Structure 1
Amino acid sequence: MAKMTPNTVSARKHVDTMALVTRNLGKRKRAEWRFRAYGVAAILFGFACLLILFSDIIAKGHGAFFQTQVYVQVPLNAQRLQITDPSSTAQLAKANYDSVIEQGLIEDQMRINGAIGSTAADKRQLLNLISTGAVYTVEETLSDTPSLLNQTVGVWLVADDDVDNYVKSLGHSGEGISGRLSQQQQGWVDNWIAHEQVRQAFNTTFFTSGDSREPEQAGIRSALMGSLFMLLVTIGLSFPIGIAAAIYLEEYAPKNGLTDFIEVNINNLAAVPSIIFGLLGLAIFIGFFDMPRSIPLVGGLVLTLMTLPTIIISSRAAIKAVPPSIRDAAYGLGASKMQVVLHHVVPLAMPGMLTGAIIGFAQALGETAPLLMIGMVAFIVDVPDNLMDPSSALPVQIFLWADSPERAFVERTSAAIMVLLAFLITMNGLAVWLRHRLGRSHQ
């Protein structure tokens, strides 16, 4: 056996060390690659979930922005309408529009089919194909042009929700989901479609009306106005109070056990379930101060309590992020404590403050649980005009519609969710834009 020289031993050890280092580097690179792959997979999974969620909501809700209308020749007979003076607002309001709509439907089907059933049940089935809100369309037509009295006028009337579902579900095969429509009613609707008396029009009612028991007449305007009023109250109270509290705690409050206790409780309040704030509002504002239920003022006060901890925490973090050199430079130039805070610290911290505040407002806009506790789950048809009028809120409206057995409300629930998501995305986008814009202005 050849004798191993020191150089040979050293060379072999060097080779073994390099091989070990190469193997370890390979393991580390593979581990790093797997870690990055897990991160990319997690991001892709999250995007896939969001895509599935948004696709499902849009697929179910886009149809609510369109409604089915039927073209009917309505005979505005003065005797049937029980109108003697078409310029009288009182007579127009009390006129028997159902009678002329029924007569127009009967004459329309007789013109197409030659005859319909003569029983009262057949006539009732025919009338049920048109929304009960169609009377307001005829009233508006006659009110705008009183000279149309005793004439036959072609009017596009809103169809019943069952007809709307049937028409929207018609595929290339020509078969739709009948729902509660009888065979006879389906035949009448098919005749209208064949004679091009059915159309899909933009559903303005969805944005201009309040809630309704009838899906085709239900809208989100009342809920939108209620959410807007509550958001105004929340912004008007929580933003200045939260900013002032953050400035005091960060710049003026002495560091002792009391301020530590306050800080701990503020941090704890940010993690409290929102329904607890609803119980607090129920006990204080409604129980103690005897304020009315289901008004935007109480809802705004409850959301203010819920939003304050978030605004205070984010504002304090923004103030802490201001470099100490800014304060030192201002003090060196002879500025007072208040001048340093108001003229230098707050402007530089404002982008972070606004970002936290807008995110807090967006969270408040989507809350449902605390509003349920103060009675905003009530069925509200009228659109509120001020902070003291009863109203609903958009998240609560979604909750109510989701619990409705009517098939058409599924479509409107998804559409309302789309509107709410649009508001939330807009508010978050505004937060990003403000942070970027104000950040550049102070550079």
Structure 2
Amino acid sequence: MIKNKKKTKQHNPFYDPNLKSRHASAKRFKKFTLTSLIFSIAFLAFFLFDIISKGIPAFNVAYIKVDVTYNEKTLEDTRFAVPKEYRNIVSRAWLRDLQKLVQENPALMNTTTTTLVLADDQVDQYLKGHHYKLKDKEIAFIEELNAQGLIERKFNSIFFTNGDSKIPEYAGLYSAVIGSILTLVITMAVAFPIGVMTAIYLEEFAGDNKFTRFIEININNLAAIPSILFGLLGLAIFINLFGMPRSSPLVGGLTLALMTLPIIIVSSRAALRAVPDSIRQAGYGLGLNKIQVTRDHVLPLAFPGVLTGSIIGLAQAMGETAPLIIIGMIAFIPDAPTMVTQAATVMPAQLFTWAGMPEGMYIEKTAAGIMVLLTILISLNAIAIYLRKRFEVKW
């Protein structure tokens, strides 16, 4: 029986003697891919957990109830506005801005009021259980104040309303957010129309010759080169050659536009190529010329794909740091710019600067800033998906 079965297998034209090993190889490959997927998800989960656990504490900050005296003496030297034992545990930035507070509220002059004063960053870190640099006498005093209920934790609105600061508890993202917005407005104002028109020309009007093939090869190559090279190009052209203001959103936007152009061109061409030729032929059959067919029929159908590629390119530009470092947008900018020619910084560069600071509060603010940046980038990608589905046309 066994010999007959073996003989039957050998004479079967569909019998594969390596079938068992092929099945085993397929199972091993399946296990490898599953392991890779699990490893990737675990790495992502660890990354998000680490960022969130470090960033959440930055959204609340300590305040201390202090009797603050407002008079001529304290305005000359704001340290005398609070009792001596409080001077090392309240924010120096808050004391520095005391004169401005009195100017905005003249009725405070020659009065003493109990006020919630922003705590020093070392006090805040001590209360959060992080590394701190406080003396034993100061720790004992803080514990006494905490036991009396004179220390409160509040939402850290300073993080969203202030610009960068050398004093950790006063540092915020506001100026970087405004700089990012101005930079991205310039980026899209330049890159979107040029990129879309270039894609339309190459896909719909340009002939198949050596010149257009040369352009296509270079566009594809530009989409893959390191972003720092675009920073060097922006430094050489916009700053050194044309004399544009360094560290400005204008230069940053133009530099990022150069980097984003290949992405918009490639994605727009793919969207135009996806439109069936029957649409074009139908337009020609009705007597329309090529410009009318492209403008009124092909481009509207390709618009969801064009818009999706442009938003994704915008999201990538928003997360770029290297080219902006080259053109000087990593400078210390405490005030938000009001014009595209003023000095500014952007969120990735601001986070890069904070990451190199030694104070513990900058560590949690860096993580919180990454959370904000990731939220914006995920939102942009979600908008791109929604718009693609919203304007998608079935043909």
Q: 2:210 aligns with which of 241, 254, 257?
A: 257
Match of 2:241 in 1: 288
1:139 to partner: Cα distance: 5.3
| Preserved CA contact (<8 Å) 1:137 1:157 | no
Q: 2:354 aligns with which of 393, 401, 405?
A: 401
**Separation of aligned partners in 2, 1:217 and 1:135:** 12
Match of 1:131 in 2: 91
1:327-346 mapped onto 2 (5 Å cutoff) = 327-346=280-299
**Separation of aligned partners in 1, 2:66 and 2:95:** 13
| Preserved CA contact (<8 Å) 1:348 1:442 | no
**Separation of aligned partners in 1, 2:9 and 2:247:** 81
**Separation of aligned partners in 1, 2:279 and 2:185:** 34
**Residue by residue, what CA displacement relative to the aligned partner does 1:76-121 show, whole Å, maximum 9, x if unpaired?**
3x3534xxxxxxxxxxxx66443122x3xx4xxxxxxxxxxxxxxx
Amino acid in structure 2 at the alignment position of 1:134: W
1:292-307 mapped onto 2 (5 Å cutoff) = 292-307=245-260
Match of 1:49 in 2: 43
Identify if the C-alpha distance between structure 1 residues 17 and 30 changes in structure 2 by more than 3 Å, giving closer, same or farther: farther
Amino acid in structure 1 at the alignment position of 2:243: D
1:15 to partner: Cα distance: 5.4
Match of 1:164 in 2: 124
Classify the secondary structure of the residue corresponding to 2:128.
helix
Identify if the C-alpha distance between structure 1 residues 273 and 186 changes in structure 2 by more than 3 Å, giving closer, same or farther: same
> What TM-score does the superposition give when structure 2 sets the normalisation length?
0.93
**Separation of aligned partners in 2, 1:384 and 1:11:** 85
| Preserved CA contact (<8 Å) 2:245 2:342 | no
Amino acid in structure 2 at the alignment position of 1:267: N
**Residue by residue, what CA displacement relative to the aligned partner does 1:230-277 show, whole Å, maximum 9, x if unpaired?**
100011110110000000011111111111111111111111111111
**Separation of aligned partners in 2, 1:191 and 1:19:** 90
Match of 1:183 in 2: 136
Q: Does 1:80 align with 2:73?
A: yes
Identify if the C-alpha distance between structure 1 residues 235 and 79 changes in structure 2 by more than 3 Å, giving closer, same or farther: closer
Q: Does 1:100 align with 2:81?
A: yes
Match of 1:247 in 2: 200
Unaligned runs of at least 5 residues, structure 2: none
Identify if the C-alpha distance between structure 1 residues 205 and 26 changes in structure 2 by more than 3 Å, giving closer, same or farther: same
Identify if the C-alpha distance between structure 1 residues 319 and 20 changes in structure 2 by more than 3 Å, giving closer, same or farther: closer
> What TM-score does the superposition give when structure 1 sets the normalisation length?
0.83
**Separation of aligned partners in 2, 1:25 and 1:17:** 16
Identify if the C-alpha distance between structure 1 residues 365 and 327 changes in structure 2 by more than 3 Å, giving closer, same or farther: same
**Residue by residue, what CA displacement relative to the aligned partner does 1:270-318 show, whole Å, maximum 9, x if unpaired?**
1111111111111111101111100000000000000001111111111
1:137 to partner: Cα distance: 7.0
1:35 to partner: Cα distance: 2.9
Classify the secondary structure of the residue corresponding to 2:65.
strand
Amino acid in structure 2 at the alignment position of 1:363: Q
1:404 to partner: Cα distance: 1.1
**Separation of aligned partners in 2, 1:14 and 1:384:** 84
Identify if the C-alpha distance between structure 1 residues 194 and 264 changes in structure 2 by more than 3 Å, giving closer, same or farther: same
Report the RMSD for the aligned CA atoms in angstroms.
2.5
Identify if the C-alpha distance between structure 1 residues 352 and 17 changes in structure 2 by more than 3 Å, giving closer, same or farther: farther
**Residue by residue, what CA displacement relative to the aligned partner does 1:178-222 show, whole Å, maximum 9, x if unpaired?**
x21011111111111111111111111111111100110000111
| Preserved CA contact (<8 Å) 2:179 2:249 | yes
Classify the secondary structure of the residue corresponding to 1:213.
coil
1:150 to partner: Cα distance: 3.5
Match of 1:116 in 2: none
**Separation of aligned partners in 2, 1:285 and 1:136:** 39
Q: Does 1:37 align with 2:31?
A: yes
Identify if the C-alpha distance between structure 1 residues 70 and 18 changes in structure 2 by more than 3 Å, giving closer, same or farther: farther
Identify if the C-alpha distance between structure 1 residues 186 and 325 changes in structure 2 by more than 3 Å, giving closer, same or farther: same
**Residue by residue, what CA displacement relative to the aligned partner does 1:137-180 show, whole Å, maximum 9, x if unpaired?**
755765565444443311111101100100011xxxxxx64x21
1:107-118 mapped onto 2 (5 Å cutoff) = none
Q: 1:202 aligns with which of 155, 172, 178?
A: 155
Match of 1:417 in 2: 370
* Identity across matched positions, percent: 45
Classify the secondary structure of the residue corresponding to 2:114.
strand
Q: 1:65 aligns with which of 59, 63, 67?
A: 59
Amino acid in structure 1 at the alignment position of 2:185: L
**Separation of aligned partners in 2, 1:17 and 1:222:** 80
| Preserved CA contact (<8 Å) 1:138 1:155 | no
**Separation of aligned partners in 2, 1:36 and 1:435:** 33
**Separation of aligned partners in 1, 2:344 and 2:222:** 28
Match of 1:152 in 2: 112
